[in-house]
């Protein structure tokens, strides 16, 4: 799995801070940004995040390329709707030699791994035959969720914080949890102040919102009540 930060809003922290400050003053955005010292930006962003005043975060946007993940993961990813996606097309890209993602539980079990590999090879052969009989766009229907894919995703900081809260949770499926951790590392390099308090609820809020589905690491609000 690979994650690359392709682009982002210039000076994302200052942009968010200026947008937030604009709500409470007659000064213009350009003037506000010029007066925003690093210490003022840090103080204001922390205050915003502590208050839950999240809308200014939508002005900072991050674009990342994701590679070496499964179609199973990408199907989960698009559930995060406030984002833009561009994904490798199985309709136009020949998948006769597709690579695939092997779950750790299968990889560490020799019997399961043998079965998995055999079925992937069977699918490759069937896809190749079907591609000679029907259009490639129809042959792709036989391809597995394990099939490797790649895509570009653009999300604003508010959506990313929600994504980290849900997908860095220990109950998140292993692949998307790893992706969330890698995406967090990428954006944290360029705008660390925007991710104050970001992460799974149990670590940053001190409780588990999963109720009876909790992993047991920390007491949930439902259990407390």
Q: Which residues are marked as active site?
A: 167
CA distance 100 to 136: 19
Contact 8, 60 (CB under 8 A): yes
DSSP for 149-177 reads EEEEEEEEHHHHHHHHHHHSSTTS-HHHH
Helical spans, DSSP H, in 52-173:
71-77, 104-107, 110-133, 136-139, 157-167
- The enclosing H or E element of 66 equals strand 61-70
CA distance 180 to 171: 13
- DSSP 8-class letter at 4: E
């Amino acid at each position: 799995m690979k994650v690359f930060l392709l682009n982002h809003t210039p000076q994302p922290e200052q942009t968010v801070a200026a947008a937030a400050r604009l709500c409470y003053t007659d000064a213009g955005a350009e003037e506000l940004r010029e007066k925003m010292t690093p210490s003022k930006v840090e103080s204001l962003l922390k205050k915003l995040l502590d208050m839950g005043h999240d809308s200014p975060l939508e002005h900072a946007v991050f674009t990342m390329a994701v590679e070496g993940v499964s179609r199973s993961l990408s199907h989960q990813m698009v559930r995060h709707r406030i984002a833009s996606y561009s994904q490798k097309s199985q309709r136009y890209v020949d998948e006769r030699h597709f690579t695939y993602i092997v779950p750790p539980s299968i990889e560490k079990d020799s019997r399961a791994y043998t079965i998995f590999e055999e079925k992937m090879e069977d699918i490759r052969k069937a896809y190749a035959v079907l591609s000679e009989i029907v259009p490639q766009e129809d042959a792709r229907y036989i391809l597995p969720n394990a099939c490797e894919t790649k895509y570009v995703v653009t999300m604003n900081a508010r959506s990313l914080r929600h994504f980290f809260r849900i997908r860095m949770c220990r109950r998140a499926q292993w692949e998307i949890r790893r992706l969330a951790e890698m995406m967090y590392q990428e954006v944290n390099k360029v705008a660390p102040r925007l991710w104050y308090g970001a992460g799974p609820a149990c670590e940053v809020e001190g409780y588990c919102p999963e109720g009876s589905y909790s992993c047991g690491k920390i007491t949930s609000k439902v259990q407390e009540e």
